[in-house]
Amino acid sequence: MDEVGKPDDTVSARVSKRAEAIRPFVVMDVVARAKELVASGHDVVRLEIGDPDLPTPALVMRAAEDAMEHGDTGYTQSAGLPSLREAISRHFAVAYEVRVDPADIVVTQGTSPAMLLVFGALLDPGDEVIVSDPCYPAYPNYVNFLGGVPVASRVRAEEGFRFRPEEVRAAITPRTRAIMINSPCNPTGTVLPADDLSELARIAEEHGLWIVSDEIYHGLDFSGRSRSILEFTDRAFVLNGFSKAYAMTGWRLGYLIAPRLFVRSCEKIQQNFFLCANHFVQAAGTVALAEAQSEVARMRRTYDERRRYLVPAVRGIGLSVVSEPTGAFYVFADATAWGSDSLELSRRILEEALVSLAPGVDFGPGGEGFLRISYATSLERLAEGVARLGAWASEHA
């Protein structure tokens, strides 16, 4: 105290070390700058984020309206509405021929809170989680924030961004608790084949580990039906939700399927941090699972059309796509022909060409030199973006 009753600024004006250490999600900074440019009157082609331009299915909208009119605007059970958990269980039986007990499901406000539940229940300080490099940046950030240690296993474009089993095994230590997977994958669009999922499940079982499988892009697989890790092992947590396949990003609705040992711990974290997901949104999610599969199929065909346009288009302007994406709605393009610093490259392209892209380094050291291009926007805007990128590269790259 420098005066009686007055706190010393050097002590009180301090951010926690935990908050200081967390890495920014750079693509959200790109989003903010793109929106600033739009607000100042510029026409920016937005290809940086996975926010579908397609509308939420009308029947889902009506279900939410009906629920609100019925008065479903209060709290629900922290684990989620029984009707929604039962619908999720039925969905897994139909889509994957896997039995999931509704009691093993916790409904969340998107898959991001579900990650807090998983790693909060799974990790003690110093425990390790194997993640791919590149990967969705929230994975290592959550692990770090909760005192764990993310251990990167490099995945390579020339190998389809697939894990090397021998490198996964080499990364395992006595502190390893889990292997994190994401298929279809953000940022690469990779879909892991059944043999890979089986092998990763075998590694986990051999070493007494858990698989944490982010399946949020299921339903957006262009190579066949999506495969859940629960088809291969029960030593698994599954994260999924409604944001991507159902075009419901702003609704914030997800869920976690957890081994019974961890369910109560996950529920307690949910009770304290989030209480529950919105009641009327859960009602809409129940209808989405039961009645909107034809809409999901229609949206998948639209994304596939965009994918088949975009991959050859970006190759035509000098970017390299060694491994073609077969899921999600991203092209992870090698841009080293234009520059090796992906953050600076994306900044220049935004300011000079008015096209916003995600820098590959945001997804880990293995993503440096890449740019992630989202095709969650119309063919017309994709074509405009490609034209601007081609013109910019001709002048600057």
- Tens digit of each residue's pLDDT (9 = 90 or more) over 112-150: 999 999 999 999 999 999 999 999 999 999 999 999 999
pLDDT of 2 higher than 80: no
Strand partners, 358: 372
CB-based contact 360:332 (threshold 8 Å): yes
CATH of 58-292, one of 3.40.640.10, 3.30.300.30, 3.30.70.890, 3.30.70.1450: 3.40.640.10
pLDDT over threshold 80, residue 12: no
**pLDDT above 70 covers what percent of the chain?**
97
- What is residue 338's predicted lDDT score, i.e. its pLDDT? 96
Report CA Rg, the chain.
22
Q: Which residue has the higher pLDDT, 240 or 25?
A: 240
Is pLDDT above 70 for 320? yes
Residue 294: both structure tokens together: 């034809």
Distance between CA atoms of 315 and 322, rounded to whole angstroms? 10
Question: Is 161:190 a contact under the CB 8 Å cutoff?
Answer: yes
pLDDT exceeds 60 at position 212: yes
Paired tokens of 32: 């903010």
Cβ-contact 247, 298 below 8 angstroms: no
From 17-21, 110-114, 327-331, the region with the lowest mean pLDDT: 17-21
Give the Å distances, CA to CA, from 13 to 5, 6, 56: 16, 12, 44
Between residues 16 and 357, the one the model is more confident about:
357
Where along the chain do its domains lie? 9-55+295-396, 58-292
Residue 3 pLDDT exceeds 90: no
Q: Is the pLDDT of residue 189 over 70?
A: yes
Average of per-residue pLDDT across 363-369 = 97
Q: Tell me what pLDDT residue 59 has.
A: 98
CB-based contacts of 139, cutoff 8 Å, min separation 6? 115, 129, 131, 150, 180, 182, 214
Averaged pLDDT for residues 160-170:
97
What is the torsional sign of CA 16, 22, 23, 24?
negative
Are the C-beta atoms of 296 and 247 separated by less than 8 Å? no
- Give one DSSP letter per residue of 190-237, joined into a string: ----HHHHHHHHHHHHHHT-EEEEE-TTTT-BSSS----GGGT-SSEE
Q: Is the Cβ–Cβ distance between 253 and 245 less than 8 Å?
A: no
Q: What is the mean pLDDT of the chain?
A: 95
- Predicted local distance difference test score (pLDDT) of residue 222: 96
The CA-based angle 84-90-91, given to 5 degrees, is 90
Distance CA 194, CA 224 (A): 11
pTM of the predicted structure, to 2 decimals:
0.94
Q: Which CATH class is domain 9-55+295-396?
A: alpha beta
How many angstroms from the chain centroid is the CA of residue 10? 38
The CA distance from 123 to 129, in Å, is 9
